[in-house]
Amino acid sequence: MSDTTPREKILKKIRKALINKSTYEVGDVDLDSEIYTTSTEPMEVSFAQRFTALNGKFVFCENEAEFLQNLTHHIEENKWENIFCLEEPIKGLLKKAKIAFSDKDKDFIHTNIGITFCEYLVARTGSVFVTSRQASGRRLPVYSNIHIVVAYTSQLVYNIKDALKGIKERYGDQIPSMIANITGPSRTADIEKTLVQGAHGPKDIYVFLIDDHKAH
């Protein structure tokens, strides 16, 4: 009876493979061609389908006025309080609609609703890219109970690599120290294999997508 354990057999095969290296030449690797089938749907539709499938909340707005109407409706319907925002253009819109919010650091700890911009939306994965170079920084996208993302249709890209390429082109040598790819609300099943939403970050994430193609 052999006393060789399964582990020793595997290690023996690995040693043999390292000794007898393949002479096959790989050649140039194509890193540019798509490996996923490109959807024929508009990116707005692809993103909305994938994002909502991941328990995200999606609201399409034809313009900024409709965004303010939709946001006001959600605030009233859900009785949202303690809204926090640091993005100057969004703050201007909130003031225009007379939506109460704070941008004071002393109020940050009480934040319930965090409103931010994003860098890109990825249609294929339903993901939201944010970075530390945004006015909202590192804290707001992960601290609030509910994360509201304000985005424009011009920020839609199809693949993650397109978002990363855009960030690199935008910031050049000053690449953000934090690049986060948010795919749905925070969730975990680490505790007794029970799915818990909001364990490590916001329990809900909303994307209000504003159509700015008409303006181009």
Distances in Å between the alpha carbon of 158 and those of 45, 117, 132, 167?
A: 11, 18, 22, 14
pLDDT in tens, 112-137: 999 999 999 999 999 999 999 999 99
Question: Does 65 map to a domain?
Answer: yes
What's the number of domains the chain is made of?
A: 1
Question: Does 49 map to a domain?
Answer: yes
Question: Does 155 map to a domain?
Answer: yes
Question: Does 119 map to a domain?
Answer: yes
CATH code of the domain covering residue 177:
3.40.50.10420
pLDDT for residue 41: 83
Question: DSSP class of residue 38?
Answer: P
Q: Can you tell me the distance from the alpha carbon of 164 to that of 161, in angstroms, rounded to the nearest whole number?
A: 5
Structural domain boundaries, residue 210 = 41-215
Q: What is the mean pLDDT of residues 30-46?
A: 73
Question: Does 31 map to a domain?
Answer: no
Q: pTM of the predicted model, to two decimals?
A: 0.78
pLDDT at 194 over 50: no
